[in-house]
Copies of this chain bind each other. A is one copy, B any other.
Amino acid sequence: MIASVMMSDLSWDEYQRRIADEDAIVLLPVGAVEQHGYHLPLGTDWMMATYMARRAAENVGGVVAAPITYGYRSQIRTGGGPHRGGTTNLDGLTLINLVKDVLKELVRHGARKLAVIDGHFENRFYLDEACFLAVRELEYAGITDAKILKMIYAEDIKPETLETIYAGKTYPGLDLEHGGILETAMMLYCHPDHVDMSKIPDEDLPKFPPYDLFPVDPDWVPASGGLSSGKGSTVEMGRLLVEEFVDLVSTSLSKEFR
């Protein structure tokens, strides 16, 4: 069979061997199916989370579990909102149980070093709950030596990187970086055939009030669904960002597990 760090590509005995003999870290990528403007694909979040998990697994000796492709409900001020076409929202409880079940199973397989790699901002607290509940239920079953690291792969960006990329323009913050320069650049680097720069529109940036409304007011979000513009993104920016994040994830894993 092909050489791979992807659990789905491995036979069960090879997977078990990596845990038993190589003390493999098992990484679970969690993303979303969510609109990312006209120029990026709906799968951006889970594709990027899977990419990061794979690269980090290659760096630190890991296996990447099958990605969780759907994520928590998009919020209007961070992902354009749950009402958008294509955006495919899970209820919070569904995501919690899904991630919890998978984590518990990975531990049953023998893994004790686990990581959840998040590619969708709104997943954040739901992944916290999933990890917490997995640990609690494992404890019920007498297993207390499993350790789960959870992170948004882009949790931290070096100021100098932002400076290079934004070059005088204002960084809108990770929240608003939905379909914006960072995501666009990273996709250009990792999945160039999934980006169509020509489709980025000229739109006014949304100005969100300091609250949310339910039901959402669709007028808060530009027609494209992007919360900031991806214009000006380049493969080179993508390389800079992606390699920094691969390093961030790998270093985090190494620090806790190696």
A147 touches B199 (CB 8 A): no
B-side contacts of A228, CB under 8 Å:
none
B-side contacts of A22, CB under 8 Å:
none
The answer, among B66, B72, B75, B194, for a CB contact under 8 Å with A2, is B194
Q: Tell me the interface secondary structure of chain A in the complex.
A: mixed
Which one of A128-136, A160-168, A234-242 is at the interface? Answer: A128-136
B214 touches A131 (CB 8 A): yes
- Any chain B CB within 8 A of the CB of A33? yes
The answer, among B11, B85, B91, B96, for a CB contact under 8 Å with A42, is B11
- Any chain B CB within 8 A of the CB of A210? yes
B85 touches A214 (CB 8 A): no
The answer, among B35, B131, B135, B195, for a CB contact under 8 Å with A12, is B35
Nearest chain-B residue to A87 (Cβ)? B12
The answer, among B9, B33, B46, B213, for a CB contact under 8 Å with A43, is B9
B-side contacts of A65, CB under 8 Å:
33, 88
Do A70 and B101 form a contact, CB below 8 Å, given A125-B124, A147-B213, A252-B210? yes
Alpha-carbon distance between A40 and B14 when the two chains are bound, in angstroms: 11
Alpha-carbon distance between A106 and B89 when the two chains are bound, in angstroms: 10
Tell me the residues in window 84-114 of chain A with beta carbons closer than 8 Å to chain B beta carbons.
84-94, 96-98, 101-102, 105-106, 109-110
- A13 shortest CB reach to chain B, Å: 6
B209 touches A252 (CB 8 A): yes
Alpha-carbon distance between A36 and B14 when the two chains are bound, in angstroms: 12
B70 touches A69 (CB 8 A): no
Alpha-carbon distance between A126 and B101 when the two chains are bound, in angstroms: 16
- Any chain B CB within 8 A of the CB of A55? no
Tell me the residues in window 17-53 of chain A with beta carbons closer than 8 Å to chain B beta carbons.
33, 35-43, 46-47
- Any chain B CB within 8 A of the CB of A212? yes
Do A10 and B42 form a contact, CB below 8 Å, given A86-B16, A210-B156? yes
B-side contacts of A73, CB under 8 Å:
128-129, 132
- Any chain B CB within 8 A of the CB of A256? yes
What residues make up the interface of A, taking CB atoms closer than 8 Å to B? 1-2, 6-13, 15-16, 33, 35-43, 46-47, 65-70, 72-73, 75, 82, 84-94, 96-98, 101-102, 105-106, 109-110, 122, 124-126, 128-129, 131-136, 139-141, 147-151, 155-156, 193-196, 199, 209-215, 225, 248, 252, 255-256
